[in-house]
C-alpha cells in the first residue's frame, strides 16, 4: 500500500498541536531527530507558499503494519507516523518502553540465548529516553518490562497512579496536623481550620501586607486561638513555633495581592494588570493624529533670580511618523504650565509649514494641565479638529474625558522615554529624574545646572528634539527615523494645512462681558480700553475677548449677538493742561456726531403724534354703531334738559386786545 503524505498543517490538526510546533517537529525530523520517541519519514515537496515554494510532508504508516490490538507502534527502525491522539507524559514514557520491548520480542524468542544477548547489548550502552535524556537500563529492568507487557499489555508499562493522587496530604503542616489529630480533631475539623486560615491569608494579601514574614507574624494569634479551641494545649514557646504558617501555604494565595494593588496603587494596577490592545499606525498620514502632553525636562537650570528649576515642555507627536514638535518654558517659581502656554505651543505648530493643523488631537487630561480648556477653544475654530482626551466616557464637544492612571495608553510617553534615553543625557545639567543625583563632577553637592541663559537652554533642547527626529527607531517604525518617514510622505505629495493666526487669536482668548461707557470706553481686568467704533454704543453690553498669545494689548469686541465690532486698545492718559487732550476730546466728539449722522441717514423722520394716531387707528378702527334708544332718567331732568335745548345761544364774550391796549398806552 502506498504511503500517505500529509502537510505540517494536517499534522498539527491530527495531534492537537500548533502549526509552529508541527513545523519545528518536521524540520527536526527531516534532520534525523526523533519526535516523541519515533523516527518520522519527512520529505520536502513542491507547493504554493513556503520558502522557495517548498514545504515539509510526513508519511503516515500503513495501519495494518502496526500492532494496534496491543496499542503498539510500527517496529521498523524508520517508520512513518501512527495516527494516535496526543498523550500525556506517562503515555509517552510507556510508548518509549514499548518500542524497546517490541524490538526485543520481534527479533528474539522467549528464553533463547539470542534474547539474553540482545538484552545484555541494550543494557551495556546508554539510550535516549522519550525526553531525549541519556539513560542506562539494567537487564532486570528490561526483563521486567517484557514480563509486565506480556501479562498486562500496554497498561503494564505505565506507572501506577497514586490512590491519593490530587488529594492534599498536608493540610496545615505535618507537625500541626499530627498534633490536632492526636487531640481528637477530625479531618473535617482540621480542614475547617485550614479554610479559615486560608481566608485570613487572602485577606492579609488583599489588605496590602508587604511580605510572607509579616503575614506569618500577623496570623499567629489567629491560628493559636483556633487550635486551642480544638483542644490542643502546648507550652507557649512551642505554640509560637507551631502557629507559624508554612511559606508555601501563604505563597499559594499571593494572587489576592491584586486586590490591594487595585485599592491602593492605581498607577501600578494600570501599568501591570489592565489589559492592553495593539494598534497599527502604519496607514496614517502626517498630522492625521497628533498627540499632546506636558513634560518636565530632567535638566537643572538656574533662573535669573538664582533659584533652580527644571524646564517645562509642551510636546506634540505626529502619530504617523513619531516626529516631535516642542516648546520649552522657564516658569517662575511655583508656577505650572497654564492655558496660555499650551495655546502658544499649539499655535506655533499650526503656523509651522512642516506641521500645520492636525485632523485629530489625542490629549492626556490626567496630567498637570487640563487639556479640556484647549479642546473648548479649538471647538470655536472654523477648521474642524476632532479631539480625543484619552478616555472611553463621552463628554461635551464630542470629546472624551481622560482616565486617571493610564500612562500606558499615552503614545506620546514613548517620545519622552526616547528623549530621556538618547538625547537629554548628552546635555549638561541632566539629572535623570532625580534632583539629588550626585555625579562625579559634583559629588556630595547639589547638581550643577545647565550653563547658560533661557535662550541657550531652549536652543539646546531644540537640538535634542532634532536629534530624536533624525535617529532611527525600533518598535512601530523599525529601522526608520521620524524625519525619514515624514520625508517619504512629503515626496508622496503631502502638504500642511495652516490656520489663520488672527482666527487663532480670536479663538484662543479669555472672554468676558462688559458695558460700554461714554467715550467708547470699557474696563477689562483693571485697565481701560477705548475704540471710536464704540462711541455710539454707550450703555450696551458687549463681549470682550483678550488673546492668550501674541499681541495682547488689543481686545476683540463683539456685540451681544456675536457680531464683530472693533478692536479696543488701551486708552491714552494725557497730562493736565496738555492740549493734545483737548484735541483728542474734539476728535472723539466729531467722530460721535459723524456716527450719529450716519445712523440718522439710514432712518426716516417721524412725529410721535402721527405715529400714535396711526397705531391707534390700526389697533381700534372706527365703527358705525346705531344706538338702541335714549333712557329717561327722571321727569324733572327731562324738563330741564328741554329748556336748555330751547334757550337762545349766548354770544361768546370777547377777550380784550392786549396788544392794542399797550399801543395806546405807549402813545401809538
For 1-10, 254-263, 333-342, 610-619, which range has the lowest pLDDT when averaged over its residues?
1-10
Rounded Cα distance between 554 and 570, Å, is 7
pTM over the 0.85 mark: no
Average pLDDT score over residue span 475-485: 86
Cα separations in angstroms, 200 against 32, 176, 246, 354, 583: 56, 18, 14, 62, 90
What pLDDT sits at residue 260? 92
What pLDDT sits at residue 82? 40
Rounded Cα distance between 309 and 294, Å, is 16
For 68-72, 182-186, 623-627, which range has the lowest pLDDT when averaged over its residues?
68-72
Residue 323 has pLDDT above 70, yes or no: yes
Q: Name the residue among 597, 348, 631, 328 with its Cα closest to residue 450.
A: 328
CB neighbours (10 Å) of residue 457?
23
Mean residue pLDDT across the chain = 81
Cell triple for 262: 487595585
What pLDDT sits at residue 485? 93
For 13-17, 231-235, 519-523, which range has the lowest pLDDT when averaged over its residues?
13-17
Average pLDDT score over residue span 561-576: 89
What pLDDT sits at residue 75? 36
- Of residues 292 and 16, more confidence is placed in 292
Q: Are 60 and 3 in contact (CB under 8 A)?
A: yes
Confidence of residue 433 (pLDDT cuts 50, 70, 90): low
Rounded Cα distance between 181 and 190, Å, is 8
Q: CB neighbours of 65 closer than 8 A, spacing ≥ 6?
A: 74
What pLDDT sits at residue 76? 34
Q: Name the residue among 569, 556, 565, 525 with its Cα closest to residue 380.
A: 556
Residue 70 has pLDDT above 50, yes or no: no
- Of residues 270 and 5, more confidence is placed in 5
Q: Name the residue among 397, 404, 394 with its Cα closest to residue 373.
A: 397
- Of residues 171 and 218, more confidence is placed in 218
What pLDDT sits at residue 439? 53
Place of cell 492718559: 573
What pLDDT sits at residue 394? 38
Q: Are 74 and 80 in contact (CB under 8 A)?
A: yes
Residue 519 has pLDDT above 80, yes or no: yes
Confidence of residue 267 (pLDDT cuts 50, 70, 90): confident
Q: What percent of the chain has pLDDT over 70?
A: 83
Structural domains of the chain sorted by starting position, each given as residue range(s) with its CATH number in brackets: 4-157 (no CATH), 174-264 (no CATH), 280-491 (3.30.420.10), 508-598 (no CATH)
**b/e burial code for range 513-523 (CB count within 10 A of at least 16 → b):** ebebeebbbbe
Q: What percent of the chain has pLDDT over 90?
A: 26
Confidence of residue 207 (pLDDT cuts 50, 70, 90): very high
What pLDDT sits at residue 74? 36
Confidence of residue 510 (pLDDT cuts 50, 70, 90): confident
For 91-100, 108-117, 594-603, 647-656, which range has the lowest pLDDT when averaged over its residues?
647-656
For 59-63, 117-121, 324-328, 367-371, which range has the lowest pLDDT when averaged over its residues?
59-63
Residue 291 has pLDDT above 60, yes or no: yes
Residue 48 has pLDDT above 80, yes or no: no
The secondary element (H helix, E strand) that includes residue 316 is strand 312-318
Give the largest Cα separation in the chain, rounded. Answer: 187
Rounded Cα distance between 97 and 135, Å, is 12
Residue 613 has pLDDT above 50, yes or no: yes
Q: Are 300 and 450 in contact (CB under 8 A)?
A: yes
Residue 266 has pLDDT above 50, yes or no: yes
Q: Are 516 and 566 in contact (CB under 8 A)?
A: no
Confidence of residue 164 (pLDDT cuts 50, 70, 90): low
For 166-175, 242-251, 340-349, which range has the lowest pLDDT when averaged over its residues?
166-175
For 49-58, 69-78, 460-469, 504-513, which range has the lowest pLDDT when averaged over its residues?
69-78
- Of residues 498 and 443, more confidence is placed in 498
| Strands laid side by side in the 386-388 sheet | 324-329, 312-318, 290-296, 360-363, 386-388
| pLDDT, tens only, 537-546 | 999 999 998 8
Confidence of residue 443 (pLDDT cuts 50, 70, 90): low
Residue 648 has pLDDT above 70, yes or no: yes
What pLDDT sits at residue 68? 38
Confidence of residue 3 (pLDDT cuts 50, 70, 90): low
Confidence of residue 50 (pLDDT cuts 50, 70, 90): low
- Of residues 614 and 47, more confidence is placed in 614
Residue 484 has pLDDT above 90, yes or no: yes
Q: CB neighbours of 223 closer than 8 A, spacing ≥ 6?
A: 172, 193, 197, 243, 245
In angstroms, the first-to-last Cα distance of the chain is: 164
Confidence of residue 455 (pLDDT cuts 50, 70, 90): very high
Cα separations in angstroms, 65 against 60, 68, 101, 151: 11, 9, 17, 23
| pLDDT, tens only, 80-128 | 444 343 345 577 888 888 889 988 988 888 889 999 999 999 999 998 8
What pLDDT sits at residue 129? 86
Residues belonging to the chain? 668
Residue 78 DSSP class: S
Q: Are 149 and 156 in contact (CB under 8 A)?
A: yes
Cα separations in angstroms, 470 against 262, 374, 481: 40, 30, 6
Amino acid at each position: 500500500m502506498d504511503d500517505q503524505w500529509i502537510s505540517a498543517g494536517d499534522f498539527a490538526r491530527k495531534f492537537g498541536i500548533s502549526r509552529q510546533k508541527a513545523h519545528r517537529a518536521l524540520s527536526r525530523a527531516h534532520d534525523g531527530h526523533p519526535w516523541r520517541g519515533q523516527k518520522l519519514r519527512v520529505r520536502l515537496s513542491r507547493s504554493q507558499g513556503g520558502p522557495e515554494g517548498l514545504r515539509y510532508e510526513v508519511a503516515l504508516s500503513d495501519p495494518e503494519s502496526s500492532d494496534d490490538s496491543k496499542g503498539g507502534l510500527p517496529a521498523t527502525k524508520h517508520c512513518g507516523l501512527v495516527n494516535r491522539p496526543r498523550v500525556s507524559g506517562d503515555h509517552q514514557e510507556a510508548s518509549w518502553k514499548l518500542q524497546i520491548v517490541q524490538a526485543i520480542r520481534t527479533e528474539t524468542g522467549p528464553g533463547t540465548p539470542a534474547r539474553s544477548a540482545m538484552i545484555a547489548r541494550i543494557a551495556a550502552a546508554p539510550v535516549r529516553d522519550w525526553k531525549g535524556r541519556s539513560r542506562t537500563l539494567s537487564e532486570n529492568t528490561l526483563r521486567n518490562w517484557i514480563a509486565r507487557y506480556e501479562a498486562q499489555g500496554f497498561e503494564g508499562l505505565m506507572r501506577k497512579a497514586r490512590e491519593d493522587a490530587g488529594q492534599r496530604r498536608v493540610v496545615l503542616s505535618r507537625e500541626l496536623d499530627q498534633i490536632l489529630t492526636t487531640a481528637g480533631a477530625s479531618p473535617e475539623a482540621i480542614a475547617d481550620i485550614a479554610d479559615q486560615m486560608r481566608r485570613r491569608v487572602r485577606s492579609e494579601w488583599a489588605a496590602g501586607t508587604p511580605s510572607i514574614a509579616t503575614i506569618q507574624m500577623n496570623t499567629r494569634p489567629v491560628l493559636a486561638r483556633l487550635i486551642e479551641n480544638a483542644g490542643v494545649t502546648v507550652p507557649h514557646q512551642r505554640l509560637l513555633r507551631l502557629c507559624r504558617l508554612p511559606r508555601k501555604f501563604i505563597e499559594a494565595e499571593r494572587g489576592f495581592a491584586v486586590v490591594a494593588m487595585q485599592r491602593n496603587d492605581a498607577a501600578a494596577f494600570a501599568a501591570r494588570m489592565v489589559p492592553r490592545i495593539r494598534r497599527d499606525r502604519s496607514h496614517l498620514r502626517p498630522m492625521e493624529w497628533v498627540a499632546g502632553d506636558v513634560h518636565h525636562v530632567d535638566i537643572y537650570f538656574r533662573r535669573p533670580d538664582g533659584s533652580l528649576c527644571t524646564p517645562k515642555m509642551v510636546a506634540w507627536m505626529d502619530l504617523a511618523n513619531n516626529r516631535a514638535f516642542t516648546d520649552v518654558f522657564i516658569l517662575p517659581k511655583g508656577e505650572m504650565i497654564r492655558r496660555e502656554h499650551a495655546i502658544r505651543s499649539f499655535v506655533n505648530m499650526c503656523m509651522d509649514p512642516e506641521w500645520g493643523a492636525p485632523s485629530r488631537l489625542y490629549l492626556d487630561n490626567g496630567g498637570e494641565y487640563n487639556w479640556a480648556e484647549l479642546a473648548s477653544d479649538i471647538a470655536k475654530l472654523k477648521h474642524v479638529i476632532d479631539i480625543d482626551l484619552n478616555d472611553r466616557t463621552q463628554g461635551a464637544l464630542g470629546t472624551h474625558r481622560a482616565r486617571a492612571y493610564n500612562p500606558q495608553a499615552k503614545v506620546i510617553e514613548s517620545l519622552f522615554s526616547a528623549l530621556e534615553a538618547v538625547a537629554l543625557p548628552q546635555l549638561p545639567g541632566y539629572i535623570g529624574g532625580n534632583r539629588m543625583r550626585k555625579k562625579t563632577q559634583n559629588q556630595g553637592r547639589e547638581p550643577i545646572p545647565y550653563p547658560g541663559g533661557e535662550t541657550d537652554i531652549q536652543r539646546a533642547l531644540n537640538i535634542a528634539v532634532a536629534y530624536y527626529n533624525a535617529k532611527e527607531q525600533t518598535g512601530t517604525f523599525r529601522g526608520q527615523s521620524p524625519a525619514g518617514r515624514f520625508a517619504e510622505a512629503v515626496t508622496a505629495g503631502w502638504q500642511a494645512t495652516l490656520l489663520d493666526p488672527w482666527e487663532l487669536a480670536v479663538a484662543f482668548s479669555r472672554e468676558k462681558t462688559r458695558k460700554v461707557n461714554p467715550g467708547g470706553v470699557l474696563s477689562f481686568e483693571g485697565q481701560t480700553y477705548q475704540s471710536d467704533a464704540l462711541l455710539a454704543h454707550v450703555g450696551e453690553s458687549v463681549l470682550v475677548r483678550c488673546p492668550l498669545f501674541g499681541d495682547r494689548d488689543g481686545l476683540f469686541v463683539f456685540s451681544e449677538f456675536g457680531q464683530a465690532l472693533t478692536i479696543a486698545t488701551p486708552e491714552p492718559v494725557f497730562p493736565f493742561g496738555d492740549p493734545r487732550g483737548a484735541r483728542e476730546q474734539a476728535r472723539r466728539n466729531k467722530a460721535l456726531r459723524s456716527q450719529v449722522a450716519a445712523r440718522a441717514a439710514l432712518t426716516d423722520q417721524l412725529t410721535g403724534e402721527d405715529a400714535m394716531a396711526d397705531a391707534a387707528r390700526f389697533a381700534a378702527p372706527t365703527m358705525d354703531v346705531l344706538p338702541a334708544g335714549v333712557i329717561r332718567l327722571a321727569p324733572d331732568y327731562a324738563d330741564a334738559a328741554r329748556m336748555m335745548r330751547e334757550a337762545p345761544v349766548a354770544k361768546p364774550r370777547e377777550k380784550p386786545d392786549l396788544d392794542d391796549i399797550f399801543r395806546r398806552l405807549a402813545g401809538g
